[in-house]
Amino acid sequence: MNLKRVVVTGIGALTPIGNTAGDFWQNLLNGVSGAAPITRFDVSKFRTRFACEVKNFDPLNFIDRKEVKRIDRFTQYALVASDEAIRDAGLDKAALNKDRVGVIWGSGVGGLDVFHEEIIAFAKGDGTPRFNPFYVPKMIIDIAAGLISMRWGYRGPNFATVAACATSNIAMIEAFNLIRLNKASVFITGGSEAPLSPGGIGGFNAMRALSERNDSPQTASRPFDKDRDGFVIGEGAGAIVLEEMEHALARGAKIYCELAGGGLSADAHHLTAPHPEGLGAVLVMENTLEDAEMKATDIDYINVHGTSTPLGDIAELIAIKKIFGEHAYTMNISSTKSMTGHLLGAAGAVEAIACIKAVEENIVPPTINHFTDDPAIDPKLNLTFNKAHQRTVNVAMSNGFGFGGHNATVVFKKFVK
């Protein structure tokens, strides 16, 4: 089959360290942490009292007041990031066949805020079921994809993906495959998450998944450090415009890079813990390299899942050494979650943007907050600790692994016609 080639022509981001893709990228390179005490609700009785919140965000600067009341925060984030990506790609001014422009957008948990608010209100009432008529459409995960399409009139394939922290990598892979198969010419894809609610913090605390370093939030997300104690939860959105290569060239679009391949696998092991030998991670990276028709030695940089958990960080590095062998020591590896925190279903899209920019600008963002070497981690691996590293990045890989054992990996490369 003659598969179409797929390129990246637009990016947009709304993150704890920058409310545009440009600001996000610069703060990554500068090693800025987005972690701080939670401001959204009273956390005095929670074990974890900090997170990576989106800062200085007013939805009314982007969205009509009436619509803001009808949509959850995760959808607000989706609309803002996708608007930026669409304008960055020049789609807002392009003559498009909107029947061939689709949206695939993901979220791990969707409208957690509105779910919490409505259930609390019901519990405090007299038992009479008085619910907001927008309760269901505000909560459901697919509403973000639907509203992006309504906002721009895109009538192509439209749906949501859900696979915990692998969600937006899978959204990109689905969009990539549909373009390759000539089912569409353009996709707006990515993910958004707004889990910073009492249920979100309390639920992850109950699992003992979150860092409890309340005395030093900015240094709490410390992937690969000996004293890491869990991930730092975050919120935000990442949006990417994927486009069939000839379509992009015909309209004179700026091309950031090429999306070369994607792979999927399952751990089939545990609800929340990774396979200790990284078997699912090995398989997903193998599948991705095969899909991209690449060798392991082609990879220059891996943006790892790297959440700052004791088990997860080790398992991923075990898998990388199995796949890449001696080449593992010549690549750069980094976890940008050390700065953004873990954006759950939005993580893959935001981290893909980090890879896209690394390929474009030949610089690898760092893993910040490294203080103490972990004796369980091979010291010869280049984990890009604390400072960005200038190097040629022809190919960058991004891993996303989710609760339930879902694994999804994408790989980007410099565009050569």
Q: Tell me the catalytic residues.
A: 165, 305, 342
Query: 223 with 306: CB under 8 angstroms?
Result: yes
For 224, residues 6+ apart whose C-beta sits below 8 A from its C-beta are 306, 313, 317, 335, 367, 370, 374, 377, 383, 385
Residues pairing with 10 in the sheet? 241
Which three-class secondary structure state does DSSP give residue 6?
Answer: strand
How many Cβ atoms from other residues are within 10 Å of residue 165's Cβ? 28
For residue 271, give the DSSP letter: S
d(CA 15, CA 36): 13
Task: Report residue 370 as tokens.
Answer: 């490294």
Query: 76 with 113: CB under 8 angstroms?
Result: no
Task: Report residue 65 as tokens.
Answer: 């007041």
The H-or-E segment that residue 236 falls in is: strand 236-244
Query: 263 with 208: CB under 8 angstroms?
Result: no
- Exposed e or buried b per residue across 294-311, where buried means at least 16 C-beta atoms within 10 angstroms of its C-beta: bebebbbbbbbbbbbbee
| Bridging pattern class, strands 257-266 and 406-413 | antiparallel
Query: 398 with 303: CB under 8 angstroms?
Result: yes
Query: 387 with 31: CB under 8 angstroms?
Result: yes
Task: Report residue 266 as tokens.
Answer: 């399952």
